Structure 1
Amino acid sequence: MRFNLEQLGAVGFQDLAAALTVATFGSGVQVMGAGRDGGRDLYHRGPLIWKRIEEQLGEVWDGYTVFQAKHKAELAARPTDNVSWLWGQIRAELNAWASHSDRQDVPDYLLVITNVSLTPTPGSGGHDLTAVVLEKYVEGLRDGSRDLDGQAEAGRKAKLARISKIKKLRVWDGNQIQTLLTVHGGVRQAFPAFLAPADIFASLPELVDKLPLDKLEPGLRAHARTTLMGEGFLYFDEAGSGDGRGIPVHEVAIDLPVTYDDGTRRSTALHHVLNRAEHILKPKITTQKRPRHLVLAGAPGNGKTTISKFLVQIFRASMLNGAANLSADHVVTIAGVARALARLGCSLPRHRRWPMRIDLAEYAEEGGLNEDETLLRWIARKVSKRSNAGEVVPWALQSWMRQWPWLLVLDGLDEVTEPLVRKRLIERVTEFVNDAEAENCDVLVVLTTRPVGYTENIAPTQFERIDLDYLELPEAIRYGTLATQVRLGTDADRIERVTRQLRKAADDEALRHLLRTPLQVLILTIIVDGAGHLAPDRYSLFWGYYDTVFKRERAKIGGLHHLLQEHEQQIQELHQRVGFELQVRSEAGDRSTATLTAEELRQITWHVLNDVDFQPSGKDAGLVESIFSAATRRLVLLAPRGDNNGYGFDVRSLQELMAAMHLTTGPLDKVIARLRTAGPSPHWRNTWLFAAGRLFATPQPHQHEAVVHLVQSIDEAADDRLATAVPIGPRLALEIVEDGMARSIPKWRDPLIAHGLRVLDEPPAADISAITRGLVRFADTGDDQRCLVADALRDALGNHPISADTATKVQELIPAIAREAGTRPAVQELAHVLRRPNVPPPSEQAPAWDEFNDEIATYPASETTLAVLRPAADALQQIAQQEETDADAIDAIIAALADTEAAKALASALTHILPREAALMRILRDIVLPTQHRRPIGADLRS
């Protein structure tokens, strides 16, 4: 059998070369990863013993050996053309070794590995020609006839001296690679691209340890085909049009910008994931350095779920492409995915993976986290449900995983909020990736989450974090145009009008920050399509969407027209109560994907009517059913979810908007009290921002002042979460400004940003790049704003060592971020701000642990309080000394915080050592206190 080496691509062929070299010569061969490698794809130092491979029997290379992979994407029809290409490649490498570029250490031996097959004709064939490549090159350097002067002669002789260190050059050509693949079956099976698409399922008996086909093959084939057509759709009624049409995800998918390595490197989500999926192999032979798996973090509406669906659809299409047992619709869908990838500068993956997407909230709710449950067992259950071939058992699926590459997308970690459930979920994910590595499985896991509240840093040796960035303006316009074309079809006049308004928004300083996420861009297109007014903040954008949908449906003559007109307030109130109820339910451990049954929805409708003196149990009984129908069938913001006939908001941000409307209904003092309760919770953060946005959206200065004062005071008297050590107010302030609230009102904007800049007093956090991006965007809006940021950096650089370190980190990130954002040169100069004159450098001072201990020892408290206070104080000292924590220490601190007096004592004692204990502050912020912040607060908000 001949294997198609061309379809691997350059990266895949280099991986193949590495795997075959290690299999031939042993683990002493060092595999180089991506990046500048000084001409070394692989290398080996010491004796290299050739195994029984044709004429090389018994040979030993003793010294420094370098291996180079040379892949020709398309082979020419004439063998001589291929040989010429290879000779050019080798000559370029020899030139580089002969020069003094970045290749200081010249090898003793050089092995070139290529997919070009050399002809065996004696004397004139490619095999014999390449055998004398090194000899001819050296002869050329010995020839001094073309030396123009002494300098040229010296340069030639220096090159000759360097290249003469190479004792032997050999080529593994395409024929040799074919032989090696036959010999090394384990390597061959690690590259499923060698299998023809039609053979994928037919060869399953060989790939799964001779399992009978009736146990596995029908289920996997049915699952791949069924999900290709059944799970590859988006619904614009989820985020806008109400027409109920399912749109194939590939028709509207875009590639989203991402940052990684603490924000210093930039790519796009699709390219990053597809490159990773193409590059990694089984752990024992891959050239991909750990971590191999990905955490994809993105803000609300940033497109995490859409891109997760698209990624899985890409690999379904790749796996099934060319198979014989496909319907016409399957073929059309696969072709559509390929076209979408081409539009985005990608192609169907050569390295086929069996894809699976898991909704983590559904997984947590439906029993996936039971004591006797594993993630693999859950996957087996899901596969079984989506086929008619019978039950797929976990042990069979595990055998399949050992042999065949997987892509596993785990979507929505942020929707699992209850601390114990979340902890158990993370344990299951960690167990899965560690077991897969131990079993030498070629598995790539992509986990999505919102960044707010993601502090666990899951298995850092296994997972790399990449962050979805905001869309740049040209990207936003392209996406808005694409979505409008798909949504409006052939209505050229409306499409042109919407895209024209999009460009106007991009040119408007007050509106362009709304064009940041795909969801916001889509909503903006729906609003301008309905001739709606665009307000310059995120709350008004989403509320404008609801208003546009409602007005559009109300304007339709007949049907529910009069109902929508006469009962607009009741329908709005219904959505608000439902949004709040679902938000409360979804933070409970067993209700991560909260829904309301039809009966529960009718009950809420009954109460909405009853509260304004309708008679829903009497003469207005028919009104309950009419409003229920209007909400679920006409406006379709509330839609059926899952298999249990429940109703919910398919777009989480709309649920959070409605919950925010409910929270902000009533007297201002009660509204502020609710927001004070909700502020620390990551689960409620987007709702909180919508609520603050609503208070800022009306010209009521007393409301604006109340929000600013709330942010400035939210960490006062909050001992139960040690707010003196880990405040939340600064981040809330920055997020308010980032959302567009108060951006044009200096009276509120300036104190908010000043409070937000207190984040510089903390140790650098995982979101430091996101904070820096926000500060850069703010500084670019005007000279006054830039001066506010500059002054804060000056103060931080002259303050204590922790703030100086954080400010320095921010300054290190500013140049790259400012260049990407295209800011004014003055903003880039923030990277060079110095501490204020006559302010001495921050000095290291020993933390006053004696004062800390004295305060704990003398604190007037009951024996019950002291019983939890003392272990917590000991745990804090242990953390500070060891710069790490364990479950016992966390439990001791949490137990003390549950006692009001103990929490007060700890907060007071901590003032003696903060901010001189950077490690303690970081661990409290990132590991210990998130448990407190995630406590369910729904009952408190109800009351």
Structure 2
Amino acid sequence: MGDYDLSRMGWQQFEHMLQALAKAELGNGVRPFGAGRDGQRDATFNGAVNFPRGSGPKWNGYGVIQMKYKHKVASTTEGWHWFLEEARKEVRGWLAKKRVGDRTPKYLLFATNVVLSGTKSTGGRDQFDRYMESAATELELDGWYVWDYDEIRTMLDQHTAIRQRYFELIVTGDFLLKLDEFFSAATALEIEHLVGHAVSELVNRQWVRTGDSGYKDSSKVRLADIAIDLPCDVEWAEGDPTDRDRTMTAESVIRMGDDNLSNGMGGGAKAAVVVGGPGQGKSTISQVIAHGYRVAFLADTDVSRHGATAVRAYEDLAARLKDAGIPTPERRRWPFVVELAKAGTSIATTNAPFSLLSYIAESIIVAGRSAEPAALLEWMRSWPVCLVLDGLDEIPNARDRTRLMDAVRTLVSDLNAAGVDLFVVATTRPQGYRGEFREAIPCTQLDLLDFTEEEALNYSDALTRLRSADDPDLAQQVSERLIEAVHARVTQRLMTTPLQVTIMTALAEEAVDLPSDRFELFDRYYRVIYDREVAKSEAFAELKSLRPHVDHLHEQAGLKLQARSEKAGNSDAALTKNEIARILRRRLNRTAGYDEGESDSLADTLMKLSTERLVMLVSRRAPKYQFEVRSLQEYMAARALTEGDEQTVLDNLLALVPSSHWRNTWLLAAGRVLKRQEHLIDKLIDLVATYDSKRADTPLALIGAGLAGDLYVDNLAIEFPGIRRRLLESAVTQFADTTLSVPRSLSELLSIALRQPTKEVTIVLEALHELSRENSSSLATLVLSENKSGMSDLAKQSRTTLTEGRTYVKPALRSGQSSIDALATELGQVVEQVPEGILLLEEIRSADPRMLGESQLVVSVDLWTVLEREPARRALAKAVGRAVKKDPAAAALGRLLLRHYASRVPQGQRFLA
């Protein structure tokens, strides 16, 4: 007989398991009840059932099954005494119902996870039978019984499918030693294979990516040394971002995953979507969450069978997670991380439907072979799963992204149908994210927040203690510099993310001047890394003399990788060693003037200096090179974009204005222009401020205004108030939009601007006043109506504006279908004989209403193909213009489509020549 632990599964899972066992034992006539008020019934039957077993008479009539679950049982005696009192309560309840004429059962079947001792006369089972005999006459019972722990254990032995279904909840001790009790030999072998993969992931994914050899020693930074939880806001709400409740990301996500999410029990799969900007740590926190599940998953196994390295990784990570206040998951989910950039590359290799389950199975390689999809599915049905989908933003290509979301949607549907307990953790940048995950799976969104001063200093102190453990004087100096930096107006905004704090800590160690903006932050970091590479040994001396050429290599590598990753099938772009050598040879030969033999020799020398790294370029997949941290790739691309003559720089940046893929690169490039080419900054700001007015299909999409807002929030030109005001004047035109709630980006813009000098406050208030006058359904009127209380400048302006008789008219709440119909109606008035417009009208009319909405926007491949035609976009812009006041909700949908298209069009192919 198997030994099962029924004390940690919780009452809800116990109830579901017993309902399944009751059906298996009594027949399909058993009717289970869900959680909630059940009128003293967890399940019922009515008619003949195959019970009791044996040759005696069977039950035939109305019966009730009642489950009694006790979480902790101190002793057998304490357990059956508790159960007997629970049974008495139930009987008293039925007697009360009988007295008032309610229907009562002919048969009562109890089920409990406690042991009813078999001691004659004084044991739990005899005590129960004696009590039921005394109550049976008054209640008019024809039969009663109780399944206690021992009988449930016997039933689990007999019903393999149910035993497998609840494997994770009932297995005791090292589950690897019990596989043969639950599964066939072949399946048990596959499960061992999957467990081995979890251990290898624990070891292989234990490092923090810092993008460089980093500090004075060459050791890597382990998550076990530095892992922390990150602040976030769950399901971000309207209002001032500074007033939001802060919670912790990993803690919140793990608590969400503690629920049973199998279809029919917990309602089906759910997801937590972690949204964070560049360097905010979304990939790292997803790895921390995955490690939390790995530690819980392996808790009762003998990790030492996988070697000393695995034991150290397991023990150190477990200790660090505990110290960081990250809870141990109650549900020991098997975690698997999908790097979506790599998945996006695989998607483009075939036109056939992409199976995410097959992709995951093929990625689980242990002992030279991959897993079988069928075995993986059987495992998932027996053990809860946490699927981490990391980096949706790293698939900028619209078609690849649509196909990926189709694959996610199919996987969730298939796993729900199979009864899998699936919890998804997804990450993305906010730029270009249109809520795509919401259509595939019910989601809770967690927006990462900036570090507070205390959080920034705590993280930097942990880094400093780790890196300067042998030099307490240096550690003290670094700490003092960072305390000063976090309180200084110019530098405090550069210590708000984990990556920024990591870089500032490295710079403080070197006693270099601390930067004042994001571009300088990365620029000085690069210089520090380069100097450390040069100082490693005499063999690296040529790095010093060839620095301009190595700089050029990094710039071109950043630009080409950023552009290449935008193309279909290249989301995980890398450069081969030959491509890097080619860039170096071209530079040395054409620009520096070396003859062909010399340039070949120098390029070969540089490439031989390191087989794993060339300053910021690392070879994680030999012989290919990438930037370890995406923000560093974007920094180098920004340098490349701003090289060349004035017109080339402006043309480069003009082409990239609408792209969400290039947005962080654009912000860094603007910072470099201000620092290195100040004479160009006025033209650059003009380019942004006039962008919307110079294009037929973009004025209503407010693309230039959105970029101006991002530049303002990014603190560009903080020492140039005139530039700041010009950016703000352009940015506030976004409040002309007619969406149902104020987007986070605009709330942040508003919050920052209203804390600035009077001139900037005036710009905001006047814009809100005028835009409200133009359209009572605009975001401007919404902001005013929500902020009319109090004595702030905004409140005073709100009351002044609204007393003019203006009130906010909320756009009509519509279903997705009615918004589509309304937009189609307006579009039908303007397409006339334009073939492209007619095609667009047909695609919008046939669109899935679940895909097109304010909270989520998933554009089909067919709709995208039509939007690629400029006449179609012009027609859509006209339709939006007609709908702005007549039907603001339809206008909002049209704007979203225009923005979505503009933000996803590949713009970097010009840089791949």
Query: 2: distance between equivalents of 1:881 and 1:620?
Result: 59
In the TM superposition, residue 660 of structure 1 has moved relative to its aligned partner by 0.6
Query: 1: distance between equivalents of 2:780 and 2:129?
Result: 58
* 1:234 counterpart residue number: 208
Query: 1: distance between equivalents of 2:888 and 2:435?
Result: 18
Query: 2: distance between equivalents of 1:836 and 1:766?
Result: 19
Asked if 1 retains the 8 angstrom alpha-carbon contact of 2:698 and 2:898, the reply is no
Aligned mate of 2:283, from 282, 305, 315: 305
Identity value in percent: 26
Asked if 1 retains the 8 angstrom alpha-carbon contact of 2:412 and 2:440, the reply is no
* 2:682 counterpart residue number: 705
Matched, 1:198 2:174: yes
**Deviations 1:480-512, CA, capped at 9 Å, x for gaps:** 222333334433222232233222222223322
**2:186 partner SS:** coil
Query: 2: distance between equivalents of 1:828 and 1:67?
Result: 58
* 1:594 counterpart residue number: 573
Query: 1: distance between equivalents of 2:216 and 2:263?
Result: 47
In the TM superposition, residue 576 of structure 1 has moved relative to its aligned partner by 0.5
Asked if 2 retains the 8 angstrom alpha-carbon contact of 1:576 and 1:659, the reply is yes
Q: TM-score, normalised by structure 2?
A: 0.80
Matched, 1:520 2:497: no
Asked if 1 retains the 8 angstrom alpha-carbon contact of 2:559 and 2:911, the reply is no
Task: Give the 3 Å change call, closer, same or farther, for CA 125–883 of structure 1 in structure 2.
Answer: closer
Query: 1: distance between equivalents of 2:231 and 2:730?
Result: 29
In the TM superposition, residue 789 of structure 1 has moved relative to its aligned partner by 4.5
* 1:475 counterpart residue number: 455
In the TM superposition, residue 292 of structure 1 has moved relative to its aligned partner by 1.1
In the TM superposition, residue 290 of structure 1 has moved relative to its aligned partner by 5.4
**1:559 partner SS:** helix
**Deviations 1:30-83, CA, capped at 9 Å, x for gaps:** 426xxxxxxx7x7779995699799x9899799xx99997745xx657976998
Query: 1: distance between equivalents of 2:729 and 2:903?
Result: 24
* 1:650 counterpart residue number: 628
Matched, 1:914 2:884: yes
Task: Give the 3 Å change call, closer, same or farther, for CA 919–691 of structure 1 in structure 2.
Answer: same
Aligned mate of 2:324, from 328, 333, 344: 344
Query: 2: distance between equivalents of 1:934 and 1:16?
Result: 48
Asked if 2 retains the 8 angstrom alpha-carbon contact of 1:242 and 1:635, the reply is no
Matched, 1:439 2:414: no
Following superposition of structure 1 onto structure 2, how do residues 722-733 of structure 1 map, counting pairs within 5 Å?
Answer: 722-733=697-708
* 2:651 counterpart residue number: 673
* 1:378 counterpart residue number: 359
**1:414 partner SS:** helix
Query: 2: distance between equivalents of 1:476 and 1:663?
Result: 32
Aligned mate of 1:529, from 509, 513, 522: 509
Asked if 2 retains the 8 angstrom alpha-carbon contact of 1:314 and 1:348, the reply is yes
Asked if 2 retains the 8 angstrom alpha-carbon contact of 1:237 and 1:636, the reply is no
Task: Give the 3 Å change call, closer, same or farther, for CA 928–393 of structure 1 in structure 2.
Answer: farther
**1:666 partner SS:** coil
Aligned mate of 2:222, from 243, 248, 253: 248
**Deviations 1:691-750, CA, capped at 9 Å, x for gaps:** 1121233582x433223222211223333xx21231212221221122221234321212
In the TM superposition, residue 652 of structure 1 has moved relative to its aligned partner by 0.8
* 2:709 counterpart residue number: 734
User: 568-577 vs 177-186, which deviates more?
Assistant: 177-186
Asked if 1 retains the 8 angstrom alpha-carbon contact of 2:460 and 2:505, the reply is yes
* 1:714 counterpart residue number: 691
Asked if 2 retains the 8 angstrom alpha-carbon contact of 1:298 and 1:449, the reply is yes
Asked if 2 retains the 8 angstrom alpha-carbon contact of 1:120 and 1:126, the reply is yes
Query: 1: distance between equivalents of 2:180 and 2:171?
Result: 11
**1:357 partner SS:** strand
Query: 2: distance between equivalents of 1:279 and 1:513?
Result: 38
Asked if 1 retains the 8 angstrom alpha-carbon contact of 2:344 and 2:404, the reply is yes
Query: 1: distance between equivalents of 2:744 and 2:455?
Result: 21
Query: 1: distance between equivalents of 2:116 and 2:127?
Result: 9
Matched, 1:771 2:742: no
User: What amino acid is the match of 1:596?
Assistant: L
Task: Give the 3 Å change call, closer, same or farther, for CA 67–710 of structure 1 in structure 2.
Answer: farther
Asked if 2 retains the 8 angstrom alpha-carbon contact of 1:408 and 1:443, the reply is yes
Task: Give the 3 Å change call, closer, same or farther, for CA 475–86 of structure 1 in structure 2.
Answer: farther
Asked if 2 retains the 8 angstrom alpha-carbon contact of 1:725 and 1:910, the reply is yes
Asked if 2 retains the 8 angstrom alpha-carbon contact of 1:293 and 1:444, the reply is yes
Aligned mate of 1:840, from 787, 806, 816: 806
**1:452 partner SS:** coil
Matched, 1:31 2:6: no
* 2:96 counterpart residue number: none
User: What amino acid is the match of 1:495?
Assistant: A
Asked if 2 retains the 8 angstrom alpha-carbon contact of 1:577 and 1:662, the reply is yes
Query: 1: distance between equivalents of 2:130 and 2:761?
Result: 65
Query: 2: distance between equivalents of 1:709 and 1:132?
Result: 91
Following superposition of structure 1 onto structure 2, how do residues 47-62 of structure 1 map, counting pairs within 5 Å?
Answer: none
In the TM superposition, residue 578 of structure 1 has moved relative to its aligned partner by 1.1
In the TM superposition, residue 580 of structure 1 has moved relative to its aligned partner by 0.6
Query: 2: distance between equivalents of 1:486 and 1:86?
Result: 58
Task: Give the 3 Å change call, closer, same or farther, for CA 14–415 of structure 1 in structure 2.
Answer: same
Matched, 1:939 2:904: no
User: What amino acid is the match of 1:696?
Assistant: L
Which residues of structure 2 form unaligned runs of 5+?
A: 24-29, 93-103, 132-144, 239-244, 813-821
* 1:605 counterpart residue number: 584
User: 613-622 vs 844-853, which deviates more?
Assistant: 844-853
RMSD, aligned α-carbons? 4.8
Following superposition of structure 1 onto structure 2, how do residues 200-599 of structure 1 map, counting pairs within 5 Å?
Answer: 200=176, 202-203=178-179, 206-207=182-183, 211=186, 213=188, 216-238=190-212, 240-241=214-215, 243-263=217-237, 267-284=247-264, 286-287=265-266, 289=267, 292-324=270-302, 325-366=305-346, 370-372=350-352, 373-383=354-364, 385-388=365-368, 390-455=369-434, 457-460=436-439, 462-473=441-452, 474-554=454-534, 558-561=538-541, 563-599=542-578
Query: 1: distance between equivalents of 2:288 and 2:681?
Result: 41
User: What amino acid is the match of 1:541?
Assistant: L
* 1:898 counterpart residue number: 869
Task: Give the 3 Å change call, closer, same or farther, for CA 890–326 of structure 1 in structure 2.
Answer: closer
Aligned mate of 1:762, from 725, 731, 737: 737
**1:467 partner SS:** strand
Query: 1: distance between equivalents of 2:66 and 2:755?
Result: 50
Asked if 2 retains the 8 angstrom alpha-carbon contact of 1:291 and 1:462, the reply is yes
In the TM superposition, residue 303 of structure 1 has moved relative to its aligned partner by 1.4
**Deviations 1:257-283, CA, capped at 9 Å, x for gaps:** 233334477532212222233212422
Which residues of structure 1 form unaligned runs of 5+?
A: 33-39, 95-107, 134-169, 816-823, 858-862
In the TM superposition, residue 546 of structure 1 has moved relative to its aligned partner by 0.9
User: 192-201 vs 579-588, which deviates more?
Assistant: 192-201
Asked if 1 retains the 8 angstrom alpha-carbon contact of 2:474 and 2:509, the reply is yes
**2:371 partner SS:** coil
Asked if 2 retains the 8 angstrom alpha-carbon contact of 1:484 and 1:525, the reply is yes
In the TM superposition, residue 432 of structure 1 has moved relative to its aligned partner by 1.1
Query: 2: distance between equivalents of 1:760 and 1:119?
Result: 72
* 2:837 counterpart residue number: 869
Count of aligned pairs between the two proteins:
853
Query: 1: distance between equivalents of 2:458 and 2:851?
Result: 48
**1:575 partner SS:** helix
Query: 1: distance between equivalents of 2:823 and 2:335?
Result: 55
User: 246-255 vs 676-685, which deviates more?
Assistant: 246-255
